[in-house]
Amino acid sequence: MKDWFSLQPEQASTFAADVDALYWYLWALTAFFFVLLVTLLIVFTVKYRRRTDQDVPRPIAGSIKLETVWTVIPFIISLSVFAWAASIYVKMVRHPADSMDIYVVGKQWMWKFQHPEGQREINELHVPVGKKVRLVMSTEDVLHSMFIPAFRVKQDVVPGANRFSTLWFEATKPGKYHIFCAEYCGTQHSGMIGSVYVMDPVEYQQWLSGGGASAGGTMVQQGEKVYNALGCASCHQAGGLGPQLEGLFGKKRTFTDGGSMVADESYIRESILNSQAHIVAGYQPVMPTFQGQVSEEELMKLVAFIKGAANSTQPADGAGAAAGAGAGATSTALPGTVGNSNKTIAPGQAAEGANPVDTKTGTETSRTTEQASPQSMAPKR
Ligand code: HEC
Ligand SMILES: [Cu+2]
């Protein structure tokens, strides 16, 4: 692509070619009809112009055949646009099961990213090439919209919602691409920009394990700290008032009102913020709401923790093979955890620790936090 001029951003994801083809199809259709209509307009204007004062047009009686043709053909053309667009849309909204999840919080005026391994970034997002990446997003304040033109993806992030906004892509080309906020969100909206760095997988692993950005431990470990600090385990342990959360993620839940739902990130979010919205069958509506007590980032960590408890068998979100040593360190530290039920939650996740040093730091901090936190020391049954 020429650097000095291009009609479109670079094509850097698996969606890009599809979206562009549809775009050019629309463009070609529009151009074709524009030329056709303008040509006919000019030709007819000349051909049927009034030549003398006595000219009187022939009466037109109408033609079923002609009217059918000019109704059916545009109808079929419109449907072709619909069918094509819908097929691309479905591909975009149906999330692959084997994606690597990155958590995103929008805020006036920045994008905050957190990787499962714990690394945090602001206005910069590093992702590996050729891997399906899913962004699980929410906002701390107003409406924002995540827009990555080179990937042809855009998704609003709505405040006060019970759901996370999600978006996925698979980058196809290493490089640096723009991130925009595509929803006017205040005076510095235009400054809410950033870059995606698409890296070779090996480089990405190096980036992940390098630097102290992940000193707080993996998201699962950080989530466990929040979980303990808020005293969730007091109800959600074996024999507690609430259901045990191991294996919850991805399971179908049945509610007292007869409804049901598959437990995804948004369900866990809703369970925490709006606990009375769906009461799990067989339980009392005693869970308090944690609205206002957890930040968006803490909420995401909790979700990662609960989610991690479900699918220790899932691909470890892009974590490198370097996890081996980290796993050992983590599981030895875990029995110190206060909530009994957590013991089973965490080890499966230990494999996600990308680097032994960070993992160790994480668990050490984790232990201190637990001891320091009055709630987590609250009497357990
Ligand atoms: C006072 C006890 C209590 C506390 C504290 C509590 N919960 Fe709950 N929780 C419950 C009960 C009871 C249910 C089942 C009824 C319902 O759906 O509200 C539940 C349901 C849930 C569910 C849905 C579980 C399922 O099987 O579908 C999730 C997720 C959850 N809680 C997470 C949390 C988190 C995270 C915390 C800490 C921030 C927490 N809970 C704190 C009692 C509690
Ligand atoms: Cu914004």
Quick one: which of 323, 291, 123, 95 has its CA closest to 220?
A: 323
In angstroms, rounded to a whole number, what is the distance separating the alpha carbons of residues 373 and 370? 5
In angstroms, rounded to a whole number, what is the distance separating the alpha carbons of residues 218 and 365? 12
The rounded percent of the chain whose pLDDT value lies above 90 is 44
Helices 323-333/356-372 angle, 10° precision: 20
Is pLDDT larger for residue 211 or for residue 27? 27
Structure confidence at residue 97 as a pLDDT band (50, 70, 90): confident
* Pair 252, 328 in one domain: yes
CA–centroid distance, 193 to ligand 2, in Å, is 9
Task: Using the atom order of ligand 1, give the atom closest to the CA of residue 226.
Answer: 38
Three-state DSSP string of 120-187: EEECEEEEECCCEEEEEEEECCCCEEEEEHHHCEEEEECCCCCCCEEEEEEECCCEEEEEEECCCCCC
Predicted local confidence at residue 215, as pLDDT: 66
What residues contact 69, with CB distance under 8 A and at least 6 apart?
Answer: none
Is pLDDT larger for residue 178 or for residue 245? 178
Ligand 1 proximity of 16 Cβ (cutoff 6 Å)? no
Is pLDDT larger for residue 379 or for residue 278? 278
Ligand 1, residues 164, 220, 235: which to mutate, most atoms within 8 A of Cβ? 235
- Whether residue 250 contacts residue 311, with contact meaning beta carbons closer than 8 Å, is answered with yes
Predicted local confidence at residue 214, as pLDDT: 60
Place of tokens 């984790």: 366
Ligand 1 proximity of 175 Cβ (cutoff 6 Å)? no
CA–centroid distance, 190 to ligand 2, in Å, is 8
In angstroms, rounded to a whole number, what is the distance separating the alpha carbons of residues 118 and 98? 19
Question: Could you read off the pLDDT of 280-333 as tens digits, one per residue?
Answer: 888 888 888 888 888 888 999 999 998 886 544 333 333 333 333 333 333 322
Ligand 1 proximity of 338 Cβ (cutoff 6 Å)? no
Task: Classify residue 10: in a domain, yes or no.
Answer: no
Question: Could you read off the pLDDT of 125-143 as tens digits, one per residue?
Answer: 999 999 999 999 999 999 9
CA–centroid distance, 127 to ligand 2, in Å, is 21
* Pair 228, 119 in one domain: no
Task: Classify residue 67: in a domain, yes or no.
Answer: no
Whether 241 has a pLDDT exceeding 60, the answer reads yes
Tokens encoding 81: 């646009």
* Pair 235, 170 in one domain: no
Structure confidence at residue 56 as a pLDDT band (50, 70, 90): confident
* Pair 223, 176 in one domain: no
Task: Using the atom order of ligand 1, give the atom closest to the CA of residue 253.
Answer: 27
Ligand 1 proximity of 253 Cβ (cutoff 6 Å)? yes
The domain of 176 spans 100-211
* Pair 233, 371 in one domain: yes
Tokens encoding 231: 């005293």
* Pair 235, 373 in one domain: yes
Ligand 1, residues 228, 256, 287: which to mutate, most atoms within 8 A of Cβ? 287
* Pair 121, 166 in one domain: yes
In angstroms, rounded to a whole number, what is the distance separating the alpha carbons of residues 178 and 262? 34
In angstroms, rounded to a whole number, what is the distance separating the alpha carbons of residues 145 and 149? 12
Mean pLDDT score of the chain, rounded to an integer? 80
Whether 54 has a pLDDT exceeding 70, the answer reads yes
CA–centroid distance, 26 to ligand 2, in Å, is 29
Measured by CA distance, the residue closest to atom 16 of ligand 1 is 279
Whether 198 has a pLDDT exceeding 90, the answer reads yes
Measured by CA distance, the residue closest to atom 30 of ligand 1 is 271
How far apart, in Å, are the Cα atoms of 335 and each of 320, 347, 357? 25, 10, 19
Q: What angle do CA 176, 182, 186 make, to 5 degrees?
A: 120
Q: Give the residue-averaged pLDDT of 52-74.
A: 90
* CA of 225, nearest ligand number: 1
Q: Give the residue-averaged pLDDT of 210-227.
A: 77
Question: Could you read off the pLDDT of 143-162 as tens digits, one per residue?
Answer: 999 999 999 999 999 987 77
Predicted local confidence at residue 196, as pLDDT: 96
Predicted local confidence at residue 3, as pLDDT: 67
Q: What's the total number of domains in the chain?
A: 2
The CATH number of the domain holding residue 236 is 1.10.760.10
Lowest-confidence region among 8-12, 24-28, 302-306, 322-326: 322-326
In angstroms, rounded to a whole number, what is the distance separating the alpha carbons of residues 197 and 193? 13
CA–centroid distance, 186 to ligand 2, in Å, is 7
Predicted local confidence at residue 186, as pLDDT: 92
Predicted local confidence at residue 249, as pLDDT: 86
Predicted local confidence at residue 245, as pLDDT: 84
Predicted local confidence at residue 313, as pLDDT: 37
Question: Of the candidates 155, 185, 211, which is a domain's last residue?
Answer: 211
The CATH number of the domain holding residue 192 is 2.60.40.420
Q: Give the residue-averaged pLDDT of 196-205.
A: 93
Question: Of the candidates 183, 211, 239, which is a domain's last residue?
Answer: 211
Task: Classify residue 52: in a domain, yes or no.
Answer: no
- Whether residue 249 contacts residue 263, with contact meaning beta carbons closer than 8 Å, is answered with yes
Longest dimension (CA), the chain: 104
Tokens encoding 246: 């191991």
Q: Rg of the Cα trace of the chain? A: 28
* CA of 145, nearest ligand number: 2
Ligand 1 proximity of 219 Cβ (cutoff 6 Å)? no
In angstroms, rounded to a whole number, what is the distance separating the alpha carbons of residues 262 and 249? 8
Whether 257 has a pLDDT exceeding 60, the answer reads yes
In angstroms, rounded to a whole number, what is the distance separating the alpha carbons of residues 147 and 165? 13
Strands 124-128 and 193-199: parallel
* Pair 226, 363 in one domain: yes
Highest mean pLDDT among 65-79, 203-217, 270-284: 65-79
Question: Of the candidates 211, 229, 251, which is a domain's last residue?
Answer: 211
> For the purposes of burial, counting CB atoms within 10 Å of the CB of 36, is it exposed (0-12), middle (13-18) or buried (19 or more)?
exposed
Strands 144-148 and 132-139: unpaired
* Pair 242, 328 in one domain: yes
CA–centroid distance, 271 to ligand 1, in Å, is 7
